[in-house]
Amino acid sequence: MNSMVTQRSAFMDGRCLDKFQEKPKLLIAGKRHVRVSVVSSSHKPDHSIKVGILGASGLTGGQLIPFIAKHPFMDITLMTAEDEAGQSIESVFPHLVMHDMPDLVAIQDADFSGVDAVFSCLPPGASQEIIKGLPSRLKIVDLSADFTLRDVNDYVEWYGQPQKARELQKEAVYGLTEIHRKKIQSARLVANPGCYPTAILLPLVPLIRANLVTSEHIVIFSNSGVSETVPEIDQELSDAANSKVAVSFISTQKLISQGLVLVIHVQMAPGASVEDLKQHLIEFYEEEFVVPLAGDQAPNTKDVQGSNSCHINVFPDCAPGTAIIVSVIDKLVKGASGQALQNLNLMMGFSENVGLSRVPLPL
């Protein structure tokens, strides 16, 4: 594989209930409208979805809890954490003191009898064995990398350990919501993408599918350390191109809070222009969390911090026929917990935006 990356980001540690749907309202994101469902969470129905969070004391679990606490149709009834078993969640995250949550329990003591859906925020390698033993009736969103690669040989090569839940790996749907929406709706197990694949694939997949950029000479520069998700990126871009794609990945290893900035150099297809790329992204992502910016506005992490948004824009490069795509997200929201909730919303028959109307926070 043509990559320069050897380590994963440190941050990555059914039923249809249409009667809950309410007419969506429109909020402004930049200069575009994003459709979100706005429902009060203060009066949740008695038959709300009961959610379990495995690895709730980690970074992604800590991001999920406030989202679900405010979700109008979901309640957290189970949270696991090995080292903090027996403690309250506010002892780990003091800012959650106002939320009424169950105490943390060890995974071996977890009771799934009253749970409808599970978020697994466990580390890669640990998640697959736990999920393999869960009741088959559960809807599951896995935030590790254990089920993102369809080829088990790729998993062994990149993660240095066997895939111990191969049948589940074949069943898992890749959870890039805006791209695989229909498959996610009927899935039992969704493999949630990490932050790098999310920020890279959201602009590239539509452009490659539309034959506006070539699948060769894709070079990605990151501001935020290294990533082991290159095979995941190659897999999804290869699907979009219907041919083998291998990207080059270069990192400055400069961490910037939760914000992730990716600069992607691409070769445009013969006859395609920067304006063609920009217009296609605008049309493809109408009323989505993905926001192609107008004019020469540069995407900035401060505009997506704490939100489930991805801001992108396309600029001309120095060499003829080439372009630069800039994509920014919040690593722990759109790059992890926010997208995970977006996926579970779809799996449970809700509008995918319910509970995700949080506005960006300043850095």
Question: For residue 296, what is the domain's CATH number?
Answer: 3.30.360.10
Cα distance between residue 106 and residue 9, in whole Å: 26
Are 66 and 97 found together in one domain?
Answer: yes
Are 208 and 263 found together in one domain?
Answer: yes
The answer to the question of residue 2 being in a domain is no
The answer to the question of residue 343 being in a domain is yes
Are 124 and 59 found together in one domain?
Answer: yes
Catalytic residue at 121?
Answer: no
47 is in which domain, residue-wise? 18-193+334-347
Amino acid symbol at 28 = I
Residue 249 has what pLDDT?
84
Q: What is the pLDDT of residues 203-238, one digit of tens each?
A: 999 999 999 999 989 999 987 666 678 889 999 999
Count how many domains the chain has.
2
- 107: CATH: 3.40.50.720
Are 140 and 213 found together in one domain?
Answer: no
Contacts 24+ apart (CB under 8 A), 290-293: 290/178, 290/202, 291/29, 291/30, 291/32, 291/34, 292/32, 293/30
The answer to the question of residue 3 being in a domain is no
Residue 61 has what pLDDT?
93
Are 164 and 252 found together in one domain?
Answer: no
Residue in the block written with tokens 């060499």: 319
Q: What is the pLDDT of residues 143-200, one digit of tens each?
A: 998 999 998 888 888 888 888 888 898 899 999 999 999 999 999 999 999 999 999 9
* Tokens of residue 45, six digits: 């129905």
Are 320 and 338 found together in one domain?
Answer: no
Arithmetic mean of pLDDT over the chain: 85
Are 206 and 163 found together in one domain?
Answer: no
The answer to the question of residue 359 being in a domain is no
Residue 25 has what pLDDT?
35
Are 31 and 175 found together in one domain?
Answer: yes
- For 169, residues 6+ apart whose C-beta sits below 8 A from its C-beta are 128, 146, 147, 149, 150, 152, 155, 163
Catalytic residue (one of 16, 121, 195, 318)? 195
Is the pLDDT at 274 greater than 90, yes or no? Answer: yes
